[in-house]
């Protein structure tokens, strides 16, 4: 790894809390995959776990899975989390708090996460979770839309630094250029609330909600994050291609909104193109990095083929296991280092250029977009 990235301080644009409790082998394995069926450790992420996380727990690199899990059980979840998060080189973490732990698994909230990681943690509001929470309060239809907007505004006022939508999981990213009419939204809200709310998957309400997020992004100067690309098996991958957002991005490009396309793989080249033609778009390859392991450099290089360097941010999308947060940072930093080494060796750029770009990829671009202080 190049000296330019060895000591890079990162700001994680998007992640989640870690499980506040010890895990048996099956639950650990279940959190190490996007599949709903726990798989074995014979994968790129499994190899990366044994290579990079094991030494942080005082074990030899490439130790057996049994030895790793035994050490994890011996140390306990909090010490393991503190060791991995604290050594990831991440100064600030932006936590999507809308995804809760499965079954009885409890995820750390931003305050506890920050304490464990010895850093700063900021909340990102998930729009669908806000709407579903308001619906549970048995609000009248006439008040529902205003209550949702006010709840979002209150969250930003309380310190949340961004908004997030998982519309890709619900109806896909083929959003209309214009928001639905008031009449359409009122009718959809009435029908949804009449059935007791629950999981929000009505296409009209979701389109309204994402357009609301874009409007508040412009007004309150907080980016709107959109899940794109792969995820768990609740998602239909062909509907999560960011290229489907063309009409929506064209309609919002002059509004002052900032749209962050998260994850993006295997459509990261599509995302790079969108960032190329729409200056209000940010992109990352979070979530993909730990899972592609040593292929992270190829993914990052393909994103950077077209994406303007000022649009690219780092994220891990670590969820549940601090190992995923750590691997997201370590493998991303290593991939960027290798890429920069190649660029300098091929006289693509100077060392001074590379230093500036690396700092911006790692933290600068994210901090400017979210109004955070760039770490020294």
Domains of the chain: 3-22+77-370 (3.20.20.140)
Residue 59: predicted pLDDT: 98
Tokens of 214: 């874009």
Residue 38: predicted pLDDT: 65
DSSP SS3 for 200: coil
Which residue is associated with the tokens 């690309």? 229
Residue 334: predicted pLDDT: 95
Residue 338: predicted pLDDT: 94
Residue 20: predicted pLDDT: 96
Nearest partner of 149 among 135, 132, 130, judged by Cα: 130
Nearest partner of 324 among 21, 34, 24, 104, judged by Cα: 34
DSSP SS3 for 29: helix
Q: How far apart are CA 217 and CA 255, in angstroms?
A: 9
Cα angle value 250/151/311 (rounded, 5°): 35
What is the residue-level pLDDT of the chain in tens, covering all 376 positions?
Answer: 454 677 899 999 999 999 999 999 999 999 998 887 766 788 999 999 999 999 999 999 999 999 999 999 999 999 999 999 999 999 999 999 988 766 678 999 999 999 999 999 999 999 999 999 999 887 888 899 999 999 999 999 999 999 999 999 999 999 999 999 999 999 999 999 988 889 999 999 999 999 999 999 999 999 999 999 999 888 999 999 999 999 999 999 999 999 999 999 999 999 999 999 999 999 999 999 999 999 999 999 999 999 999 999 999 999 999 999 999 999 999 999 999 999 999 999 999 999 999 999 999 999 999 999 988 7
Q: How far apart are CA 40 and CA 72, in angstroms?
A: 17
Q: How far apart are CA 53 and CA 32, in angstroms?
A: 13
Tokens of 202: 């009505």
DSSP for 103-152? TTPPBPPHHHHHHHHTSEEEEEEEHHHHHHHHHHTT--HHHHHHHHHHHH
The 8-class DSSP code of residue 62 comes to T
Q: How far apart are CA 72 and CA 86, in angstroms?
A: 16
Residue 101: predicted pLDDT: 60
Biggest alpha carbon distance in the chain? 64
CA distances from 233 to 30, 35, 151, 196, 200 (A): 13, 6, 30, 25, 18
Our measurement of the distance from residue 372's CA atom to the centroid of its chain's CA atoms, rounded to an integer in Å, reads: 17
Residue 103: predicted pLDDT: 64
Residue 1: predicted pLDDT: 44
């Amino acid at each position: 790894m190049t000296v330019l990235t060895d000591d890079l301080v990162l700001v994680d644009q998007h992640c989640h809390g870690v499980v506040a409790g010890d895990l048996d082998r099956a639950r650990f394995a279940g959190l190490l995959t996007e599949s709903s069926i726990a798989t074995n450790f014979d994968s790129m992420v499994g190899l990366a776990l044994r290579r990079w996380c094991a030494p942080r727990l005082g074990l030899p690199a490439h130790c057996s899975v049994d030895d790793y899990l035994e050490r994890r059980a011996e140390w306990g979840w909090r010490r393991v989390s503190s060791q991995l998060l604290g050594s990831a080189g991440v100064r600030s973490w932006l936590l999507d708090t809308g995804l809760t732990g499965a079954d009885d698994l409890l995820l750390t909230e931003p305050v506890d996460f920050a304490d464990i990681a010895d850093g700063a943690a900021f909340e990102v509001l998930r729009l669908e979770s806000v709407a579903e929470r308001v619906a549970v309060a048995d609000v009248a239809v006439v008040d529902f839309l205003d209550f949702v907007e006010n709840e979002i505004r209150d969250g930003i006022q309380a310190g949340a630094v961004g908004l997030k939508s998982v519309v890709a999981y619900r109806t896909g990213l083929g959003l209309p250029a214009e928001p639905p009419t008031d009449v359409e939204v009122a009718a959809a809200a009435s029908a949804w609330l009449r059935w007791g709310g629950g999981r929000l998957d009505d296409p009209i309400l979701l389109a309204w909600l994402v357009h609301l997020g874009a409007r508040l992004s412009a007004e309150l100067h907080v980016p709107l994050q959109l899940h794109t690309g792969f995820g768990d098996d609740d998602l239909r991958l062909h509907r999560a291609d960011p290229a489907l957002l063309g009409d929506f991005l064209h309609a919002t490009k002059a509004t002052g909104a900032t749209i962050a396309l998260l994850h993006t793989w295997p459509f990261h080249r599509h995302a790079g193109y969108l960032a190329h033609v729409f200056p209000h778009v940010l992109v990352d390859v979070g979530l993909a990095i730990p899972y592609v392991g040593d292929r992270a450099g190829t993914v990052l290089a393909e994103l950077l083929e077209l994406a303007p360097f000022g649009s690219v941010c780092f994220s891990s999308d670590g969820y549940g296991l601090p190992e995923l947060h750590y691997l997201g940072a370590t493998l991303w930093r290593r991939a960027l280092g290798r890429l920069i080494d190649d660029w300098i060796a091929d006289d693509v750029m100077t060392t001074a250029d590379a230093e500036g770009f690396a700092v911006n990829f790692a933290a600068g671009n994210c901090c400017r977009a979210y109004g955070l202080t760039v770490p020294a």
